[in-house]
Amino acid sequence: MSAPAAALAAVRARVERAAAQAGHAVALVAVSKTQPAAAVRALAAAGQRAFGENYVQEALAKQRELADLTLEWHCIGPLQSNKCREVAEHFAWLQSLDREKLVEPLARHRPAGLPPLNVLLQVNVDAEASKSGCAPGDVPRLAAAVAAARGLRLRGLMAIPQPHPDPAQRRAAFARMRELFGALAREHPHIDTLSMGMSDDFELAIAEGATMVRIGSAVFGPRG
Ligand SMILES: *Cc1c(COP(=O)(O)O)cnc(C)c1O
């Protein structure tokens, strides 16, 4: 087995063990920001299909190099309004929608020949001033806007809790997200995705209800 395939297999085994304990399925998105296209190709050869990118231009360059593969691209970084068209045209998922003014341009630019863009609302669960994500109280309004937009499909919520040194505090943030997700599911019963957990904390996130984890360094090695 190649080194990337071995790292991927080890992470998958951990995700699956945590998922079995939690009693629900968990999807793995490999976060390939700053990694070369060749590294993505190596993981794709090992069976990984979903990849997450933070920077739209970097993602588009990689997508062009990998156009011969069938991959599922997730935009997971903060989105500027002037990038809505590129995201609508070139990604399967947007995990970081955090304000209403992005909804109309995303919907308008989603090509009619593609399935709807899968959308997660990013929530600033720790109320950190410096981070992107909407306030928990804004979720219902934003969710209604996405649900009403043609070309977009509301799938759930995403969060990047503070990397708190105290696991109990991190776990509390994940638990708050689970509650928010449950409340949103009462309004929008079809939602199915709670994206939380990264290399350092994905097992904790899965125990608190994550159905999708976004993992970079644990599969690709440290970023340069
Ligand atoms: C970089 C990044 C990740 C992956 O982080 P690792 O610690 O390398 O697993 C996940 N989600 C987002 C939004 C990121 O920017």
Output the pLDDT for position 163.
Answer: 83
Task: Give per-residue pLDDT as tens, 56-97.
Answer: 999 999 999 999 999 999 999 999 999 999 999 999 999 999
> What's the CA gap between 56 and 84, in Å, rounded?
10
> What's the CA gap between 98 and 171, in Å, rounded?
23
CB distance 213 to 195 below 8 Å: yes
CB distance 42 to 219 below 8 Å: no
Output the pLDDT for position 130.
Answer: 61
Output the pLDDT for position 129.
Answer: 62
Q: What separation in Å is there between the alpha carbon of 97 and the centre of ligand 1?
A: 16
**What SS3 state is found at 164?**
coil
Output the pLDDT for position 14.
Answer: 98
Q: Which residue has the tokens 């020949």?
A: 113
Nearest-CA residue for atom 10 of ligand 1: 214
Q: Which residues line ligand 1 (CB under 6 A)?
A: 31, 33, 54, 76, 160, 198-200, 214-218
Task: Give per-residue pLDDT as tens, 98-120.
Answer: 999 999 999 999 999 999 999 99
**Whether pLDDT at 128 is above 80:** no
User: What is the set of domains in the chain, with CATH numbers?
Assistant: 3-220 (3.20.20.10)
What type of residue sits at position 37? A
Q: What separation in Å is there between the alpha carbon of 31 and the centre of ligand 1?
A: 6
Which atom of ligand 1 is found nearest the CA of 198?
9
**What is the value of pTM for the model shown?**
0.97
Q: Is the dihedral of CA 63, 67, 68, 69 positive or negative?
A: positive
